[in-house]
Amino acid sequence: MDTDDIESIIKARWKEHFKTKNQGKNFFKTALKYLLLFILFFVIFYFALNYKSYFIKAKYTYNIDIKKKPITSISIPEQDKNSKVNLPDSIIIDKINVNAPIIWQVNSSNADSKLNEGVIHFAGTSVPSEDSNVVLTGHSSAYPWQKTNYGQVFTLLDKLVTGDKITIIYQKNQYTYEVTNKKIVNPDQVDILSSKEAKLTLITCWPIGTSIKRLVVLAKQVQKPVSAPSELLIPTVP
């Protein structure tokens, strides 16, 4: 075998080596391209499903954080000196423009359907007239095909900070709470439901459009009616 033959063999092997290497590079580039396309379509699909919530968040940021518009308070008509108000049972949070009915004593078995009717109260937890923990939850987002006016009721719950006020109307009586803490927890962290003091716990799914975590806002009771209700009348949801 002469020198020319050896040189040809070496060149052929190098060509094959580089061809194999380039095939590996091309495979990596193709896989990366499809991965990026998948991520792009996933992001588009995700925002399409949750566009209402993100529109609300963008509008809030523009009006409050950029234009510095003052927050408009939701008027609560006084009925008498014992803080009686002519309103149905509801939750009112001026800062994030929430004014929604409360559905009391909802069990986990029918929670999904009742969430479309307002903010739900966890069965077995306290009511405002008791000195314990009132636990409420609402949607941070809902699918476009869900027919509800409350699909984004807690979209802006993350905007609440220490000191913000929350009003609960219960049996025509007004109860005021002040935010003390805010945190993100796992869905199975049920310890947040226990308490030996008069407080309010608001819960929603987080991040928006997922059920990976829970955003929890904790608030202490700072004002209650002069005369507490003589009996606890808790509507029971069938």
Distance CA 226, CA 212 (A): 41
| pLDDT (mean) for 104-116 | 92
Q: How many CB atoms lie within 10 A of CB 184?
A: 13
According to DSSP, the β-strands at 173-185 and 165-170 are antiparallel
pLDDT given for residue 68 in this prediction: 84
How confident is the model at residue 202, as a pLDDT? 97
Least confident of 14-18, 40-44, 198-202, 234-238: 234-238
- Complete domains list, the chain, with CATH: 76-223 (2.40.260.10)
Give the pTM: 0.82
Q: Is the dihedral of CA 90, 57, 221, 123 positive or negative?
A: positive
Residue 12 has pLDDT above 70, yes or no: no
CB 136 within 8 A of CB 203: yes
Note the pLDDT of residue 237.
47
Q: What is the mean pLDDT of residues 106-131?
A: 92
Distance CA 45, CA 53 (A): 14
Which tens digits make up the pLDDT trace of 78-101?
A: 655 555 788 899 999 999 999 999
Residue 234: its pLDDT value, please? 56
206 pLDDT higher than 90: yes
Lowest average pLDDT, out of 39-48, 158-167, 178-187, 207-216, goes to 39-48
Q: Any idea what the Cα angle at residue 158 is, between residues 155 and 160, rounded to 5°?
A: 115
Residue with the bigger pLDDT between 65 and 229: it is: 65
